[in-house]
């Protein structure tokens, strides 16, 4: 199955989009200038092989550059607004309740981009193993996915309703 452009869309609220855009603008402007100044100041301290401040600043620079690339990718593939939703069908922007096979406990979470932090309930990405397994499933369906340790887990979809916010 080939991935289409629509599969790669990240749905964001306007607030989340604005927050990520502001972070990108800061990191790619003032953030880069600040880290370059830290590196230059540490470089002036002498021998770079034994200069902890220099190496720490270079590592921080690498993290900043990686976050810039991540933010650019998210924002490039982002759509602001709400993902199309159908009651009873699991999709982005849905509050989903599942039961794990062999366990009486039910788990409810928001299926959305991890960038939608601040939601009052847990957020699972549609790209996570569980999120990908349940995407498009209907209430009553079961889905099996592989855990990071290689074991498989099966869940039953108990509910899928449009997320109403806090």
Q: With a cut of 90, say whether residue 9 has pLDDT above it.
A: no
pLDDT given at position 37: 92
Residues 16 and 75 in one domain: yes
Residues 9 and 43 in one domain: yes
Residue 88 lies in a domain: no
Residue 139 lies in a domain: yes
Residues 102 and 127 in one domain: yes
- Picking from 80, 105, 125, the residue at the C-terminal end of a domain is 80
Total of domains in the chain: 2
pLDDT given at position 95: 85
Residue 85 lies in a domain: no
Measured from the Cβ of residue 55, the count of other Cβ atoms closer than 10 Å reads 14
DSSP 121: S
Residues 75 and 11 in one domain: yes
Residues 35 and 70 in one domain: yes
**H-state helical runs in 44-139:** 52-76, 129-134
- Alpha-carbon distance of 55 to 33, in angstroms, equals 17
Residue 70 lies in a domain: yes
User: Which residues 6+ apart lie within 8 Å of 73 measured at CB?
Assistant: none
Residue-range definition of the domain harbouring residue 114 = 94-162
- Residue 130 φ then ψ, to 5°: -65, -45
Residues 112 and 67 in one domain: no
pLDDT given at position 118: 61
- Picking from 16, 50, 80, the residue at the C-terminal end of a domain is 80
Q: Which tokens hold the place of 62?
A: 């690498």
Residues 9 and 31 in one domain: yes
The beta-carbon contacts of 66-72 under 8 Å, at least 24 apart in sequence, are: 67/23, 67/27, 68/24, 68/27, 68/28, 71/20, 71/23, 71/24, 71/27, 72/24
Residues 66 and 109 in one domain: no
Measured from the Cβ of residue 91, the count of other Cβ atoms closer than 10 Å reads 20
pLDDT given at position 55: 87
More confident residue, 85 or 114: 114
pLDDT in tens, 63-108: 999 999 988 887 887 777 665 556 678 888 788 899 998 887 888 8
CATH classification at residue 137: 3.10.50.30
pLDDT given at position 5: 41
Q: For the sheet containing 152-162, what is the strand order? A: 123-124, 106-111, 94-100, 152-162, 142-146
Residues 67 and 101 in one domain: no
pLDDT in tens, 13-67: 777 788 889 999 999 999 999 999 988 888 888 777 778 888 888 999 999 999 9
Residues 104 and 63 in one domain: no
Residues 70 and 98 in one domain: no
pLDDT given at position 11: 67
What pTM was computed for the model?
Answer: 0.53
Judge whether 160 and 104 are in contact, CB under 8 Å: no
């Amino acid at each position: 199955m080939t991935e289409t452009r629509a599969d790669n869309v990240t749905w964001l609220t306007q607030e989340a989009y604005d927050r990520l855009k502001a972070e990108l603008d800061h990191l790619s402007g003032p953030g880069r200038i600040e880290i370059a100044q830290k590196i230059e100041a540490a470089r002036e301290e002498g021998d770079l092989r034994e200069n902890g401040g220099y190496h720490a600043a270079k590592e921080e620079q690498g993290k900043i550059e990686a976050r810039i690339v991540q933010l650019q990718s998210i924002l490039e593939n982002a759509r602001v607004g709400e993902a199309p939703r159908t009651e009873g069908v699991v999709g982005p922007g849905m509050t989903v309740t599942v039961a794990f096979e062999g366990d009486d406990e039910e788990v409810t979470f928001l299926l959305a981009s991890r960038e939608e932090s601040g939601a009052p309930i847990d957020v699972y990405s549609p790209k996570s193993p569980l999120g990908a397994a349940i995407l498009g499933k209907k209430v009553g369906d079961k889905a099996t996915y592989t855990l990071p340790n290689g074991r498989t887990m099966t869940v039953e979809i108990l509910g899928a309703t449009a997320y109403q916010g806090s």
